[in-house]
Amino acid sequence: MASNQVTATLGPTGFTTTIVAGNHALTADEPIRVGGADKGPDPYGLLLASLGACKAMTLRMYANRKQWPLTGVTVALAHEHVHAKDCEECESDEGHILKVRAELTLEGDLDADQRARLAEIADRCPVHRSLSGEVLITSNLA
């Protein structure tokens, strides 16, 4: 597997999952209401966290390159699943769509043009692009 390998290991009971990403360990779980122990974010929480971190980091890199006075970024994310036929802005008209909303809070003495440009750049982060494009996932038995 690639050098950016991530492993997720689940024990014999429950949903608590240990995730190892490089030198970092994380815990994922399901909420108590669905039988988990709530020891960490659920898988969609981790997905949104990845997207939020990527957007924030991308904005920092861009602002640094432009020498803009960006002093902080908060990306608040939420998701829902909607029927494609009920989604006016979606291309697909079949199945379910994962709809993600990201709200950016930009700190610093930025003018309106800089803020608008940073909002555009946030949608160009690599994770956003990956999730917006075609994704091929294969699962194989070890």
pLDDT tens string 121-139: 999 999 999 999 888 899 9
Per-residue pLDDT reduced to its tens digit, 35-47: 999 999 999 999 9
Write down the H helix ranges in 1-142: 43-66, 112-122, 126-132
Q: Which helix (H) or strand (E) holds 71?
A: none
Phi, psi dihedrals of residue 32, rounded to the nearest 5°: -60, -35
Question: Cβ(21)–Cβ(8) under 8 Å?
Answer: no
- For 93-107, the DSSP string reads -SSEEEEEEEEEEEE
pLDDT score, position 116: 98
CATH 3.30.300.20 fits 42-132, yes or no: yes
Query: Residue 3 has what pLDDT?
Result: 60
Element (H, E) at 3: none
- Alpha carbon distance 61, 74 (integer Å): 15
What order do you get walking across the sheet with 17-21 strand by strand? 6-10, 17-21, 24-28
Residue-wise pLDDT tens digits, 68-117: 999 999 999 999 987 766 776 767 767 778 889 999 999 999 999 999 99
The C-alpha atoms of residue 69 and residue 59 are separated, in whole angstroms, by 11
